[in-house]
């Protein structure tokens, strides 16, 4: 086994991890490396939407704005803390101009103003975009800067276990840990490698591998389970975001290889914005994808025009939203009903108009929009070509021709507003030396302004880098690899290898196991949540997790063959451990929310026999428990209280805390200046 040591290791090379590596160097931390599955992996470089949004304060015209006003927008739907909202708002402008200066082509006018538009949950016009691939443009610019600064990039490494010891503050209710390093498998050499680090900036992205129906890029599974496995505290885990997305198998299609992004088996894309505003046909078929094709929306609406109106609205109300089930989110429910209850498949067809379509029959808002956009063309495809030819092109890039074939769609998991709990320096609340940033950090609440995920990743990178550089001072050296660490790393690695190899020997197929927990999550933890179904799913989850971890609990010594290099199956079997563990914590958290009486909010409806019927076209048990608004002032925390590898009982503990208000610090310049000079701005252990 090979051992390496860095003062700070950045794990993950999405937009957040790349920015952290750059900022750490800029802050003077020399001993830093970026460890990743690959620069072409993750969500940031592989995902986008018709106009992928970046959220920042208003920087144009006479629109007044302030950090506090932005922070207030973050808290509108509740379930989030004011101190983090203020920190995200306060560093947003700096983080945005950092990207501009690195060459990200955010549009500006002749006077240098960065105009904005209104996005979801945005009371002002703070959103900007570089087009469909904003986060890819960010990655490109940040990768150039990582290379210019000669920061070591360790690609083809899959992290499989975080190494930690009990932390100092044992008196706290939640177990405290201290990070020591990480075990990885090198996908090229198939060797195990151990990294010792004082700090790990944990930028492994959102939980992409947890849902069967997902618009996260196929190459991205995420790795929050590694931190949950060592007991890291999570916050707001149930607040996932879902919406309509297409998924197209790429086998047999011809398209040029894109040099800097991963080639998936399935191309996935949000069908938001113009894809809906051009009002395509919604068609469902039998399970074979061909027979019994019919336009189905008319069955669910009082008139065809009502359906067309909701489809148009869906364009700028993309996420499924419990508050809009009488409006545009009814479209998501219809698609969900067709696919999950009726077992049919749903397609968007741009080749012909839906039943009842005529420009004059559309509601005034939709008609005006199409006329103003010069998109009064006869078919949805032609309207799309006029309104947003780039949207057609991006499907062509993957060999999909919208003028000739329909697009299969479903309600898909897209984002987690929650994640690991952090303070305003993006330090884990209970694992010393762990800095979760980007989507894996749980800084948002029930809903967030569109584009704030990308801002949060950049702000987290700035804040974590500043805190690490401040704490390390001029001694930011790589820690020594002492005997105690080597013994522990060897023992953990041996246990991991045993777990994986015994699983393979027993014929446990990682693909089937992954399919099982992903399907469980999509069925029980999607847009409709039901406590009884969640309870059954939790039992199944526990059984699966125990079975997978049990393989490492047998007292079998490694035989000589065990010294052989790892295989791809071994790596994916190990990846399943942290994914399966994460799905257990998410399931338990979602169940706790359902039985706490939070009700229907964000991107989910909680079913309740005493709830309000959603619509008489749906099954009679689709009754929504109304939101209990008092929960908006509270934040939900959860953590795993035992290590499954120890064979003990598996328990997810959870609790609610009052949400922190937006702080009102002393803003008198002379006082701020003094605190800054004296380094007091970092003196806030009380906020942890």
Ligand X SMILES: Cc1cc2nc3c(=O)[nH]c(=O)nc-3n(C[C@H](O)[C@H](O)[C@H](O)COP(=O)(O)OP(=O)(O)OC[C@H]3O[C@@H](n4cnc5c(N)ncnc54)[C@H](O)[C@@H]3O)c2cc1C
Q: By CB under 6 A, name the binding residues for ligand X.
A: 11-17, 36-37, 41-44, 47-49, 52-53, 135, 157-159, 203-206, 215-216, 220, 222-223, 270, 414-415, 438-439, 450-454, 457
Of residues 438 and 645, the one with the C-beta less far from ligand X: 438
| Three state DSSP letters for 480-509 | CCCHHHHHHHHHHHHHHHHHHHHHHHCCCC
Q: Which residue has the tokens 């990480």?
A: 182
CA distance 441 to 449: 16
CB of 622 to ligand X, least distance (A): 27
Shortest Å, Cβ 685 to ligand X: 26
Quote the least distance from Cβ 15 to ligand X, whole Å. 5
Residue 14 or 67 having the CB closest to ligand X: 14
Cβ closest to ligand X, residue 439 vs residue 592: 439
In the complex, minimum distance from the CB of residue 331 to ligand X, in angstroms, rounded to a whole number = 18
Q: How far apart are CA 562 and CA 541, in angstroms?
A: 29
Rounded to the nearest 10°, the torsion over CA 27, 33, 38, 44 is: -20
Evaluate the CA torsion angle 589, 590, 595, 599 in order and state its sign.
positive
Q: Using CA atoms of 133, 135, 136, 140 in order, give the dihedral in degrees to the nearest 10.
A: 140
Distance of alpha carbon 299 from alpha carbon 682, whole angstroms: 59
CA-to-CA separations, 493 to 192, 419, 539, 645, in angstroms, rounded: 8, 26, 29, 12
Structure tokens at 519: 């399907």
C-beta closer to ligand X: residue 133 or 347: 133
625 CB-near residues (< 8 Å, 6+ apart): 597, 599, 600, 605, 606, 607, 608, 610, 611
CB 57 within 8 A of CB 207: no
Measured between alpha carbons, how far is 652 from 504 in angstroms, rounded to an integer? 28
Cβ proximity to ligand X: between 269 and 336 the closer is 269
Strand intervals (E) in 307-428? 345-349, 407-416, 419-420
Closer CB to ligand X, 199 or 414, in the complex: 414
Minimum CB separation from ligand X for residue 158, in Å? 5
Nearest to ligand X of 3, 656 (CB atom): 3
Separation CA 48–CA 622 (nearest Å):
32
In angstroms, give the least distance from the CB of 373 to ligand X: 20
Q: Could you tell me the smallest distance in angstroms from the CB atom of residue 421 to ligand X?
A: 16
Distance CA 40, CA 14 (A): 9
Q: Which lies closer to ligand X via its Cβ, residue 96 or residue 296?
A: 96
Looking at the Cβ atoms of 214 and 353, the one nearer to ligand X is 214
What is the Cα–Cα distance from 86 to 500, expressed in whole angstroms? 44
Q: Which is nearer to ligand X, 78 or 205 (CB)?
A: 205
What is the Cα–Cα distance from 213 to 295, expressed in whole angstroms?
A: 22
Show the DSSP H helices in 248-338 as ranges.
Answer: 274-277, 297-300, 304-314, 329-336
d(CA 537, CA 533): 6
Q: How far is the CB of 160 from ligand X (least distance, A)?
A: 7
Closest separation between CB of residue 532 and ligand X, Å? 30
Please state the closest distance from residue 563 (CB atom) to ligand X, in A: 23
């Amino acid at each position: 086994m090979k051992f390496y040591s860095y003062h700070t290791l950045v794990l993950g090379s999405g937009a957040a991890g790349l920015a952290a590596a750059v900022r750490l160097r800029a802050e003077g931390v020399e001993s830093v490396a970026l460890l990743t599955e690959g620069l072409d992996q993750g969500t940031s470089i592989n995902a986008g939407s018709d106009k992928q949004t970046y959220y920042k304060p208003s920087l144009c015209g006479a629109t007044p704005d302030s950090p506090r006003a932005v922070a207030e927008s973050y808290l509108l739907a509740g379930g989030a803390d004011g101190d983090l909202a203020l920190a995200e708002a306060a560093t947003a402008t700096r983080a945005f101009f950092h990207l501009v200066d690195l060459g990200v082509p955010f549009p500006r006018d002749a006077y240098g103003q960065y105009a904005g538009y209104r996005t979801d949950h945005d009371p002002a016009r703070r959103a900007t975009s570089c087009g469909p691939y904003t986060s890819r443009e960010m990655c490109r610019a940040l990768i150039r800067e990582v290379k210019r600064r000669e920061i070591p990039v360790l690609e083809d490494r899959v992290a499989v276990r975080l190494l930690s010891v009990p932390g100092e503050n044992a008196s706290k209710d939640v177990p405290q840990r201290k990070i020591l390093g990480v075990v990885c498998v090198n996908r090229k050499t198939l060797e195990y490698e151990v990294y010792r680090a004082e700090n790990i900036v944990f930028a492994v992205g959102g939980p992409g591998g947890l849902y069967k129906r997902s618009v996260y890029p196929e190459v991205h599974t995420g790795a929050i389970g590694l931190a949950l496995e060592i007991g890291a505290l999570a916050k707001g885990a149930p607040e996932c975001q879902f919406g309509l997305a297409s998924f197209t198998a790429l086998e047999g299609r011809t398209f040029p290889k894109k040099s800097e992004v991963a080639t998936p088996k399935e191309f996935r894309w949000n069908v938001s914005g113009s894809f809906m505003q051009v009002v395509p046909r919604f068609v469902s078929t039998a399970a074979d994808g061909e027979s019994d094709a019919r336009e189905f929306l008319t069955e669910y609406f009082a008139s065809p025009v009502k359906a067309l109106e909701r489809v148009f609205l869906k364009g700028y109300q993309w996420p499924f939203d419990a508050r809009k089930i009488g409006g545009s989110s009814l479209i998501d429910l219809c698609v969900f009903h067709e696919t999950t209850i009726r077992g049919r498949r749903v397609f968007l067809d741009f080749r012909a108009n839906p039943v009842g379509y005529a420009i004059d029959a559309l509601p005034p808002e939709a008609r005006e929009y199409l006329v103003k956009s010069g998109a009064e063309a006869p078919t949805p495809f032609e309207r799309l070509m006029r309104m947003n030819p780039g949207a057609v092109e991006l499907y062509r890039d993957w060999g999909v021709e919208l003028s000739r074939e329909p697009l299969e769609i479903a309600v898909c998991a897209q984002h987690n507003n929650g994640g690991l709990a952090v303070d305003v320096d993006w330090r884990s609340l209970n694992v010393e030396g762990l800095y979760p940033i980007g989507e894996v950090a749980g800084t948002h609440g029930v809903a967030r302004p569109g584009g704030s995920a990308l801002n949060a990743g950049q702000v987290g990178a700035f804040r974590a880098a500043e805190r690490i550089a401040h704490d390390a001072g001029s001694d930011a050296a790589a820690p020594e690899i002492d005997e105690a660490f080597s013994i522990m790393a060897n023992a953990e690695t041996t246990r991991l290898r045993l777990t994986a190899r015994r699983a393979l020997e027993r014929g446990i197929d990682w693909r089937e196991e992954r399919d099982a927990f992903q399907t469980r999550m999509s069925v029980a933890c999607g847009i409709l949540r039901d406590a009884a179904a969640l309870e059954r799913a939790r039992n199944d989850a526990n059984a699966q997790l125990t079975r997978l971890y049990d393989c490492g609990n047998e007292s079998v010594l490694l035989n000589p063959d065990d010294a052989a290099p790892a295989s791809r199956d071994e790596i994916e079997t190990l990846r399943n451990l942290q994914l399966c563990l994460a799905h257990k914590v998410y399931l338990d958290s979602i169940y706790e929310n359902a039985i706490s009486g939070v009700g229907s909010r964000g991107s989910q409806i909680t079913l309740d026999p005493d709830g309000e019927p959603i619509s008489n076209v749906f099954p009679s048990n689709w009754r929504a428990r109304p939101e209990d608004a008092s929960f908006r002032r509270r934040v939900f925390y959860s953590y795993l209280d035992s290590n499954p590898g120890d064979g003990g009982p598996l328990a997810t503990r959870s609790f609610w805390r009052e949400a922190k208000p937006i702080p009102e610090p002393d803003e008198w310049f002379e006082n701020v200046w003094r605190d800054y000079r004296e380094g007091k701005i970092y003196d806030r252990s009380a906020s942890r």
